Structure 1
Amino acid sequence: MSEKPTIRITYCTQCQWLLRAGWMAQELLSTFGTDLGEVTLVPGTGGIFTISCNDVLVWERKRDGGFPDAAKLKQLVRDVIDPDRDLGHADRKTHKKTDPA
């Protein structure tokens, strides 16, 4: 059995982004639940805000322009851990399953 995916959210303490990081962790845990091995909050400085899944950088505030909304974040994480997973209403407009026809 393979290990469960891990999420790492690094946030800037100077910018007071702990609540944002905590909210995003909560959103991921409520969606993926026991499919995740852990969600870790890592304090940093200098305006950092990154989210990685299994050491894959899925969001970087400076690179990606701000912060993801909850639906976007869930899609990015899903694409790393289980690309075929349907996220329900958070997925309706963007994630299309491949039509074999």
Structure 2
Amino acid sequence: MVEKILSAYKNEVTALTLIPSSGGVFEVTSNDQLIFSKKEEGRFPEFKELTPKI
């Protein structure tokens, strides 16, 4: 997922931070706003559903 984001937005991304977690938590935020939570959705996101929100 990270590689796809960096490839698609290579000229726009100024910072990308990966924060290790536990317990199956996988969250994606953009500009400090939560745009996807595996804990809430019960699944991993599809790249195509994240791109309009990034």
Q: Same fold (TM over 0.5)?
A: yes
Runs of 4+ residues over 3 Å off in structure 1: none
Q: Which sections of structure 1, spanning at least 5 residues, go unmatched?
A: 1-23, 78-101
Which SS does the other structure have where 2:23 is aligned?
A: coil
CA-atom RMSD, angstroms? Answer: 1.1
Displacement of 1:44 after TM fit? 0.8
User: Over residues 4-55 of structure 1, what are the superposed CA-to-partner deviations in whole Å (9 max), with x where a residue is unaligned?
Assistant: xxxxxxxxxxxxxxxxxxxx11111111112111111110111110010111
Identity %: 31
Q: Which sections of structure 2, spanning at least 5 residues, go unmatched?
A: none
The structure richer in strand per residue is 1
In structure 1, the partner of 2:41 is 64
Letter matched to residue 67 of structure 1: F
Which SS does the other structure have where 2:24 is aligned?
A: coil
Which is higher, the Rg of structure 1 or of structure 2?
1
Give the counterpart of 2:12 among 10, 15, 35: 35
Q: Distance in 2 between matches of 1:39 and 1:26?
A: 11
Displacement of 1:74 after TM fit? 1.1
Letter matched to residue 66 of structure 1: R
The structure richer in helix per residue is 1
Displacement of 1:71 after TM fit? 0.9
Give the length in aligned residue pairs.
54
In structure 2, the partner of 1:74 is 51
Q: Per the alignment, do residues 41 and 28 of structure 1 end up closer, same or farther by CA in structure 2, a change over 3 Å counting?
A: same
